[in-house]
Structure 1
Amino acid sequence: MRQFVWVRFCIFGANEQKSAHRRHRMHKPTAFFLVGPTASGKSAVAHLLAAKWGCSVVSADSMNVYQGMDIGTAKPTLTERKQVVYHGLDVVGPTEAFHVAAWVQAIQPAWSEASPPLVCGGTGLYVKCLTEGLNSFAPEDRAQRSVWEMQSLETLQVEAEQHVPEGYAALTADDRQNPRRLIRLLERGGNGVQWEEGLRVKLVGLQIERKRLHQRIQDRVEQMYAAGLLDEAASLNSLDLSLTARQAIGYAEAMACLAGDYTQAEAVERTVIRTRQLAKRQMTWFRNQMDVEWIEVEADTTVAKVADAVEAAWARIGAGEVQC
């Protein structure tokens, strides 16, 4: 049986793998990218393919970096982590501020391995910094403004707090909840991100019909509560959490439930609503910011069949160069 290998637009046999890997390591780092909205099933597909090929997975999810926040962020299980090496998980404690440049540094070991990793996630800012590069941010950059406008409020807050700490500290509570005010702050001062000119990397993405995606989100949130999300939130509640961690989807609602502000049903409902809004932002980002070959995940399609389609797409387009 012939095996799928990494660095060409075709499929190599087993005898050619070692020389192909040597060629890969002599050139710029590469990766295979799988993106899409939350609850689209991309993590299961990436895990299956990484286990099959013997490579690692880079988690491009801004919430997976926090230790102790496992259930609400849908991290790979301990069993899955024994099967596949993951990068970008449990990088910092939930009390620490974190930003995209630190994530780039944390995942660098992925490119010291023999085979290119699979980059999988829905945080467009993280994916784009790999495909187009991360550098200092120049004010009055219209392209950069469009990038910021695609971000969630939580992402804008943590980037402003990290890059313009004095300006962020001077904001009123209302201004900190205002995306336009945060964008203006990022544009005026401090360092932020600017995308370097480079090749347009082709990604593979999973998309699902909206009604079915909404049902998957509903099911996922209910499963998180059944798996102990309230207990996990309770263990975090006494900590001086970073702004991003405290406002994270699922955790903010669970903590409000523990405080008596919501019933559990209300917490579930509000988490579902916020997750749907996130999924919509993610699809908007990838459709406007990235070059994605979309694969439609049909009803009752197995993970294995979706993985076959992703593998075929990667065989056509090859791995993308990593810019940072």
Structure 2
Amino acid sequence: MNCSAHFIVGPTASGKSAAAQYIAEREGQLIVSADSMNLYRGMDIGTAKPGADERNKVDYAGIDLAEPTEKFSVAAYLEAVRPAFESGREVIVSGGTGLYIKCLTEGFDDVPPENAELRIELESLDVHSLEQRAKEDAPGLYESLTEDDRQNPRRLIRILEKKHGGSPAARPSKSWDSKPRSTVVGLHVEREELHKRIAQRVEKMYAVGLLEEARELSQLELSPTALQAIGYAEAFAVLNGEFTVEEAKERTIVRTRQLAKRQMTWFRNQLNVEWINTADYPTKEKLAEAVSGFWKKLGPTKIQM
């Protein structure tokens, strides 16, 4: 495939989606979402999916690809977004699912599909949920961990991947190791500011109807990924009388912070990222201008599919 795209990556709540939307509205690009939760239909509020107004102004791919009752593999995602790159239009890829970005920029052939899907599912869990999963799925391996390791998400994910076979999906394949890494643009947000944005996002989710959306979803036989998704698991707990709303909000904030930290670790270790410090650009317009400027300097990234 002889196609290319401009990439914008970053942790959740960093402003990458808003920047991509702003640029695409003015320049006419198609946006490919690289977010593993945006692909589920009916999971809109808790995933901060682009709304109807935004999608009326800009064409999107990689959104609403599957029912929340279904499992959806990385291979299926790549096949679903392929037409966007073959359309002949300029494309922006925006998202925080590092494995999707990695596969788009360096190829998918040597990545075990089941492990890739498992990694995405496990990275959506907090330490408590990972610990419970490890106790159930890999009790022997769990018992071999030290007390410190039982509170370490990476250790817990590692034993679950080992239990389910193959090498961890997060480990670069030989094919990845042999390929030069493309440089993509990323948004860096200072920790205190990112935590503030995450808290504001969670408050907004509840204000605009997360519990009502979760109530509708709870009538379905949801996939494990949907059941354990950040924000939704806590909303389901409120509906079941297990959490108060305030407890659910707080846990969602904690899990989202943990996710943001894992995302940044992935980007630093697995990609070449030209970071833009968002604090240097006080408005959405200024930030979008900076992103466009970096894209012009770097040029588009070749898509490996």
1:173 to 124, 132, 136: 136
Any residues of structure 2 matched to 1:282-297 within 5 Å, and which?
282-297=263-278
Question: Which residue is equivalent to 2:216?
Answer: 235
Q: Structure 1 unaligned runs (5+)? A: 1-26, 139-144, 157-170
Any residues of structure 2 matched to 1:1-324 within 5 Å, and which?
28-137=2-111, 153-154=122-123, 173-175=136-138, 178-188=156-166, 194=173, 195-196=175-176, 197-298=178-279, 301-324=282-305
Q: Distance in 2 between matches of 1:149 and 1:97?
A: 10
Is the 8 Å Cα contact of residues 33 and 94 (structure 2) preserved in structure 1?
yes
Q: Structure 2 unaligned runs (5+)? A: 126-133, 143-155
Q: Distance in 1 between matches of 2:28 and 2:2?
A: 21
Q: Distance in 2 between matches of 1:226 and 1:136?
A: 43
Question: Which residue is equivalent to 1:162?
Answer: none
Cα offset, 1:185, TM superposition? 3.7
Q: Distance in 2 between matches of 1:28 and 1:206?
A: 27
Is the 8 Å Cα contact of residues 36 and 120 (structure 2) preserved in structure 1?
no
Letter in 2 for 1:153: L
Letter in 1 for 2:252: T
Is the 8 Å Cα contact of residues 150 and 281 (structure 1) preserved in structure 2?
no
Cα offset, 1:150, TM superposition? 8.0
Q: Distance in 2 between matches of 1:252 and 1:112?
A: 37
Q: Distance in 1 between matches of 2:26 and 2:74?
A: 29
Is the 8 Å Cα contact of residues 154 and 247 (structure 1) preserved in structure 2?
no
Is the 8 Å Cα contact of residues 137 and 163 (structure 2) preserved in structure 1?
no
Letter in 2 for 1:208: V
Question: Which residue is equivalent to 2:150?
Answer: none
Name the larger-Rg structure: 1
Cα offset, 1:38, TM superposition? 0.3
- Normalised to the residue count of structure 2, the TM-score between the two structures is 0.84
Is the 8 Å Cα contact of residues 148 and 183 (structure 1) preserved in structure 2?
no
Letter in 1 for 2:159: R
Q: Distance in 2 between matches of 1:262 and 1:41?
A: 30
Q: Distance in 1 between matches of 2:162 and 2:287?
A: 42
Question: Which residue is equivalent to 2:131?
Answer: none
| CA shift in 2, pair 1:151/1:111, >3 Å | closer
Letter in 2 for 1:122: G
Cα offset, 1:184, TM superposition? 1.2
Q: Distance in 2 between matches of 1:151 and 1:39?
A: 18
Letter in 1 for 2:49: K
Question: Which residue is equivalent to 2:145?
Answer: none
Is the 8 Å Cα contact of residues 154 and 244 (structure 1) preserved in structure 2?
no
SS at match of 1:107: helix
Q: Distance in 2 between matches of 1:73 and 1:226?
A: 14
Q: Distance in 2 between matches of 1:173 and 1:223?
A: 35
Is the 8 Å Cα contact of residues 87 and 110 (structure 1) preserved in structure 2?
yes
Calculate the aligned-residue CA RMSD, in Å: 2.7
SS at match of 2:184: strand
What do the CA deviations read for 1:224-263 (whole angstroms, capped 9, x no partner)? 0001000000000121100101100000000001100000
Q: Distance in 2 between matches of 1:155 and 1:208?
A: 21
Letter in 2 for 1:119: V
Q: Distance in 2 between matches of 1:44 and 1:30?
A: 21
Cα offset, 1:149, TM superposition? 11
Q: Distance in 2 between matches of 1:57 and 1:78?
A: 14
Aligned residues: 277
Cα offset, 1:71, TM superposition? 0.3
Cα offset, 1:276, TM superposition? 0.3
**Aligned sequence identity (%):** 50
| CA shift in 2, pair 1:151/1:97, >3 Å | closer
